[in-house]
Structure 1
Amino acid sequence: MQQQTAGHDPATGPADRATRSDLTPPLPDLFEAALRRLRLEGAVFLRAEYREPWAYESLPGPATAHILRPGTDRVILFHVVAGGTCWVQVGDQEKHWASAGDVIVLPYGDQHSMGGIGESETVPIMTFMPAPPWPRMPLLRAGADGDLTDVVCGYLHSDDVLFDPSLRVFPSAFVVRPSGAAGAAWVRANVDYALAQADVAPFGPDAIPTRLPEMLLVEVLRQHLATAPAVDQGWLAALHDPVLNPALSALHAAPERKWTVTDLARVAAVSRSGFDDRFRQVLGRSPIRYLTEWRMHLAQDLLASTDLGVAAVARRVGYDAEEAFSRAFKRTYGKAPGLWRGDHALRRP
């Protein structure tokens, strides 16, 4: 059977950063700011050897997240194809093909299927994956006795708005290839190191001491954002929209300001009604609701990653009264800011 050609976004590896401007268009400032702001925690968590023909369906997203990072309901998944050819599919969406060196990304950790070139019955992953907890990184084997596809899988966790499923900045699944020999070698070296460490380290969020998940994802997202085709709705569309982009840039630059729809429309140089209609059409929410959601996201970040008091965090995100901020935060996340911080503060060395 003729091998499928992998459909993917050409990616830029970290070793090629110096020449990125020659390879891809520049990102809008908000994209670059979003990538610089990302805080990610994760690990390489399993490796797999699949032989043709083969196909499986993963666990639902929340169940996968519970295994990999208890207490969360979603994680970012990625699969590095070390050898062979495979496809990935979310629901009844299109299949994305990947081959050796490609990186498959599932930014919302959705339930998905994967398979090889040959026709095969799709089986649940738990028919061949050992039940957790795992004392060591599992090695999965599935399929028959045909050609081999090697896959190394990792996950990341982030509360960042980029990975908010309601905004759907990214497609449910996409494939990227690190460009050039240097980029591919960098990915391969990090994967090899992670696998070597897996033989001696117990499984856990910090089991594999490599920055591969974080560094790889940021590079893949940068390339995907720079080369993604135009879309009509969502955050990606809004940041490319000549009306919404200036307003969002101003809002993100000064979230503490007492913004009104009239203020934002003035920044966008359109009428208030025209701006409000356009905002709702593209982002599916009112400008003020978006502002509130963005403030709550920033508050999460400050509570988790700084020692600022709750009152100071409230002021940073536009609330004069700590009580009003605490009510808004609890309404959004179900806990008062102080209690939420106790559960989510980032570990410090």
Structure 2
Amino acid sequence: MTDPAQSKSHDKGPTQRPADAWVSSDPLGQALDFLRMDGVFYCRSEFTEPWGLDLPPMPDCLMFHVVTEGRCVMLTSDPEPLDLQQGVFTLVPHGEGHVVASSADAQATNLFETERYHVTDRYERLVHGGGGTPCQMICGAVHMDHPVAERLISLLPQTVRFDTSDPDRGDTAQGILNVMASEVEKPRPGSEAVIARLADTLVIQAIRTWIEDEPAAQTGWLAAIKDPQIGQALQSLHQDPERPWTVEDLAEQAAMSRSAFSARFSELVGESPMRYVRSWKMQVAAALLKSEGATVAELAFRLGYESEAAFSRAFKRVMKVSPGSIKCDP
């Protein structure tokens, strides 16, 4: 596995659409559409008991594991080990360091001290263990840098689990998992692109399942995204952050009066519409500074500020750092 910071692709900044772009009737679907991932690495792991693998933290990455044969446990900062069964897709949304092992008391070896075979620059095969009962997994880490995606991910818990064998939800996911396992086991021309797309799909499936089932997902920003009227206003803003939005403009998108919109927006989101607009513009600016190396002058003009100084003050007020401190990723 190479340094994740060196493996990211940075040719895609935040999605920008013209103000007159078609607005979907599914704002949550549009938010999920922003979950466009750049694969950092993927690995087919072949373990035999006893075994343990210590994975380092990967900031700004979502890490995932799915057992294709056998079972194992995952140890995080939570005191209780998490059982990983065959067919269960487990997502570690915040890139937290953790251990996967044959049992909670198995000795764990650092990832970088294990025997790994590089299939391609981003694909590896890992073989490790004491020769006992086998366990096979597909693991990976993906990165996404769109502000909508970052906001959505920030709301997720320490781990998210999705059972691909669930007959009510998992038929398609199980098929995807089978294809992914085949592509990793026997790479062919285009396997890298296929696995990346399949991983995207499983990550989205896991997050979508959490949103549907988790009570915490029925409040706050996610509730606002799913609201038939507030969601339309948020979607329009997310699509066109460069527009000089006013409360009246957003209320129009929601087909509500200004006062009713402001009250409903504040109730769901937890902040006023214009405060959210200012915050959103700065998050977009930060993403553009990272992904495109945009200049402060360019962003000040694009986002409707009178001067670089005014933009810089607004940026620091929201992001707590100056725009000049944000470096473009190599």
Q: What TM-score comes out, normalization by structure 1 length?
A: 0.63
Show the counterpart of 2:7.
Answer: none
- Per-residue CA deviations over 1:74-111 (Å, capped at 9, x if unaligned) read 32101132311235465449876544444322121234
Show the counterpart of 2:136.
Answer: 150
Identify if the C-alpha distance between structure 1 residues 51 and 182 changes in structure 2 by more than 3 Å, giving closer, same or farther.
Answer: same
Q: Aligned with 1:218: secondary structure?
A: helix
Q: Which amino acid aligns with 1:324?
A: A
Matched, 1:210 2:203: no
| Equivalent pairs, count | 289
**Corresponding residue to 2:233 among 237, 242, 247:** 247
Structure 2, unpaired ranges of 5+: 1-23, 119-123, 165-169
Q: Which amino acid aligns with 1:192?
A: E
Matched, 1:232 2:225: no
Matched, 1:40 2:25: no
Contact 1:258 1:318 in 2 (8 A): yes
Show the counterpart of 1:202.
Answer: none
Show the counterpart of 1:344.
Answer: 329
- Per-residue CA deviations over 1:162-213 (Å, capped at 9, x if unaligned) read 553786343432234274575234201332256x99xxxxxxxxxx982356
Q: Which amino acid aligns with 1:336?
A: P
Identify if the C-alpha distance between structure 1 residues 286 and 149 changes in structure 2 by more than 3 Å, giving closer, same or farther.
Answer: farther
Identify if the C-alpha distance between structure 1 residues 33 and 274 changes in structure 2 by more than 3 Å, giving closer, same or farther.
Answer: closer
Contact 2:44 2:138 in 1 (8 A): yes
1:1-349 equivalences under 5 Å are 28-32=26-30, 34-36=32-34, 38-44=36-42, 47-51=45-49, 64-65=57-58, 73-88=59-74, 91-92=77-78, 98-112=84-98, 114=100, 120-121=104-105, 125=108, 127=109, 129-131=111-113, 139=126, 141=128, 147-164=133-150, 168-176=154-162, 177=164, 179-180=171-172, 182-193=175-186, 210-211=192-193, 214-227=196-209, 228-229=212-213, 231-261=217-247, 263-265=249-251, 267-268=253-254, 275-276=261-262, 278-306=264-292, 310-329=296-315, 332=319, 334-337=321-324, 340-341=326-327, 343-344=328-329
Structure 1, unpaired ranges of 5+: 1-25, 66-72, 198-207
Contact 2:93 2:153 in 1 (8 A): no
Contact 2:117 2:126 in 1 (8 A): no
Show the counterpart of 1:9.
Answer: none
How far did residue 64 of structure 1 move? Answer: 1.6
Q: What is the alpha-carbon distance in structure 1 between the residues aligned to residue 79 and residue 25 of structure 2?
A: 27
Contact 2:65 2:91 in 1 (8 A): yes
Q: What is the alpha-carbon distance in structure 2 between the residues aligned to residue 111 and residue 34 of structure 1?
A: 25
- Per-residue CA deviations over 1:118-148 (Å, capped at 9, x if unaligned) read x64376x4x454459x896583635x77532
What is the Cα-based RMSD across aligned positions, in Å?
4.3
Q: What TM-score comes out, normalization by structure 2 length?
A: 0.65
